[in-house]
Copies of this chain bind each other. A is one copy, B any other.
Amino acid sequence: MYKTLGVIGGMGPEATCDLMRKIISLTAASCDQEHIHMIADVNTAIPDRTAAILHGGADPLPELVRSGRRLEAAGADVLVMPCNTAHYYHAALSEALDTPVLHMPRLTAAELRRAGVRRAAVLATDGTIQSGVYAGAFADEGVEPVYPDADGQAAVMRLIYDGVKARRVELRDVPVRPVLDGLRERGAEVCVLACTELPIAFEALGLADGCLDPTRVLALAAVRACGAPAAVDSPW
């Protein structure tokens, strides 16, 4: 029997499903019973993370802890959190829980180092970038982050909030390709899709080549942490 995985989800709900789908497809299994037991709490009462970090919005920590405890009570042995911005609260959350919480930005930075990447673009919410979650993880692994300029960052936020979360803007109407071109010109060898809504948008737009998907990195780490055989050797 593998360990049971708890997913602190709802940030957003689609990103939770995206992680679950990636875990399923990265597990070497030929029938239902060979997959990992996952319990996902799509806790939509968790307040917006970027709003809390940058604009004094409601603190997400109490609901993150509530989800973590709910999953522990339901039997989770390992926890994951499919939201990059929420990792700003990783230390406080881990402190409040008895169960280890895998750290998506650190796993991603370690994967970049392993692949020999020295400079990587970080596409993320304003909250993730300004919280320094990726800057810290990159520094630990000797990877230099490259961020979009102000216009590029506004396009990334539009893709995340209006495109994926609210579905009020067509993804292809957000000018993302020039942002990627600009980052590559500034020396980024790889683009890290450091918001869990971005891999969904990038796959739909056919832009995922040359990008590293932290959701996929986390999914593969979760399969391994639960002791299940992985279907691939690498998240690339």
Chain A residues close to B by CB (< 8 Å): 10-14, 16-17, 20-21, 24, 30-48, 70, 73-75, 161, 165-168
Q: Which of B12, B20, B167, B168 sits near A32, CB closer than 8 Å?
A: B12
Give the distance to chain B from A60, nearest Cβ to Cβ, in Å: 11
Contact call B32/A37, Cβ cutoff below 8 A: no
Contact call B40/A44, Cβ cutoff below 8 A: no
Q: Which of B11, B37, B41, B45 sits near A45, CB closer than 8 Å?
A: B37
Contacts of A35 in B (CB 8 A): 10, 12-13, 42, 44
Contacts of A168 in B (CB 8 A): 30
Contact call A38/B24, Cβ cutoff below 8 A: no
Give the distance to chain B from A87, nearest Cβ to Cβ, in Å: 16
Contact call B44/A42, Cβ cutoff below 8 A: no
Q: Which of B24, B73, B165 sits near A14, CB closer than 8 Å?
A: B24
Contact call B33/A45, Cβ cutoff below 8 A: yes
- A12-B31, A70-B75 are known; give 13 further A-B pairs, CB within 8 A: A10-B35, A12-B35, A14-B21, A14-B24, A20-B40, A30-B165, A31-B161, A33-B46, A37-B42, A37-B43, A38-B42, A39-B40, A39-B41
Q: Which of B24, B36, B39 sits near A17, CB closer than 8 Å?
A: B24
- Candidate in A11, A16, A75 with the most chain B CB atoms within 10 angstroms: A16
Which B residue's beta carbon lies closest to that of A168? B30
Q: What is the bound-complex CA distance between A48 and B32, given in angstroms?
A: 8
Contact call A42/B39, Cβ cutoff below 8 A: yes
Q: What is the bound-complex CA distance between A184 and B12, given in angstroms?
A: 41
Contacts of A11 in B (CB 8 A): 32
Contact call A44/B34, Cβ cutoff below 8 A: yes
Contact call B42/A20, Cβ cutoff below 8 A: yes
Contacts of A41 in B (CB 8 A): 39, 74
Which B residue's beta carbon lies closest to that of A44? B35
Q: What is the bound-complex CA distance between A33 and B42, given in angstroms?
A: 10
Q: What is the bound-complex CA distance between A82 and B38, given in angstroms?
A: 15
Q: What is the bound-complex CA distance between A20 and B39, given in angstroms?
A: 13
Contacts of A36 in B (CB 8 A): 42, 44
Give the distance to chain B from A66, nearest Cβ to Cβ, in Å: 10
Give the distance to chain B from A50, nearest Cβ to Cβ, in Å: 11
* A33-B17 contact, Cβ under 8 Å, with A39-B40, A40-B40, A74-B73: no
